[in-house]
C-alpha cells in the first residue's frame, strides 16, 4: 500500500506541476478579459473562493482530510449505517474484512473531542509539513501512516489475544 501511495503521489505531483505551468500561460492570455468583464459584488461563492485562496497549500490539503473525517464521524451517528461502519471503519484482526478497514479506520473517530483535537493538530502543522513535502507526498505519508499503525495494532492484538475492534490510526 505504501509503495502504491508514494508512486501515485509522484505521478500526481508531476501532473499537478504540468497543470500549473499550463494554467499560468492560459491565465496570462486571459488577464485582459478580467478588466473588461464586470465583477460581481457580495457573491457568496466569491467570498468562499477568496477564503480558499487565502489558505496555504497545507491548509487546503488538510481541509480535504478534515472533511473526510467529519463525514465519517457523521456517518457513525446514523443508526442505519452502524453495521457498515463497524464492518469497514473499525480495525479488528478477527474480522472478515481485513484490508479496507486498515485504511478506512484511519478516518474514524467516535468522540467529537478526540476528532477535534486530532484535526486541530493536523491543521496546525500542515503548512510547514506540506511546504516541505508537497501536498501529494503529505497525503501519501498520512495514508501510509494510518495503514501502518493499523497493521501494528493488528500485530499487538494478535500478540495479546485481544480481538476487540478499534477506531483510528
Mean pLDDT comparison of 9-18, 30-39, 76-85, highest-scoring range: 76-85
Q: What is the mean pLDDT of residues 90-106?
A: 83
* 121 Cβ contact partners less than 8 Å away, ≥ 6 residues apart: none
Q: What is the pLDDT of residue 101?
A: 85
Ordered by start, the domain boundaries in the chain are 110-160
Q: Report the alpha-carbon distance of residue 112 to residue 131 in Å, rounded.
A: 29
Predicted confidence (pLDDT) per residue in 110-154, tens digit: 889 989 999 999 999 888 998 898 889 999 999 999 999 888 988
Total-model pTM:
0.77
Amino acid at each position: 500500500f505504501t509503495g502504491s501511495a508514494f508512486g501515485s503521489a509522484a505521478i500526481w505531483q508531476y501532473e499537478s506541476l504540468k497543470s500549473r505551468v499550463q494554467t499560468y500561460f492560459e491565465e496570462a492570455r486571459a488577464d485582459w478579459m478580467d478588466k473588461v468583464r464586470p465583477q460581481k459584488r457580495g457573491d457568496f461563492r466569491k467570498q468562499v473562493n477568496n477564503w480558499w485562496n487565502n489558505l496555504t497549500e497545507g491548509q487546503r490539503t488538510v481541509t480535504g482530510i478534515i472533511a473526510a473525517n467529519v463525514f465519517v464521524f457523521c456517518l457513525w451517528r446514523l443508526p442505519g449505517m452502524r453495521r457498515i461502519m463497524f464492518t469497514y471503519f473499525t480495525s479488528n484482526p478477527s474480522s472478515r474484512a481485513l484490508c479496507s478497514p486498515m485504511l478506512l479506520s484511519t478516518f474514524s473517530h467516535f468522540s467529537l473531542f478526540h476528532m477535534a483535537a486530532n484535526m486541530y493538530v493536523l491543521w496546525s502543522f500542515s503548512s510547514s509539513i506540506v511546504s516541505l513535502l508537497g501536498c501529494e507526498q503529505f497525503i501519501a505519508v498520512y495514508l501510509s501512516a494510518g495503514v501502518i499503525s493499523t497493521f501494528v495494532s493488528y500485530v499487538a492484538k494478535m500478540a495479546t489475544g485481544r480481538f476487540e475492534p478499534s477506531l483510528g490510526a
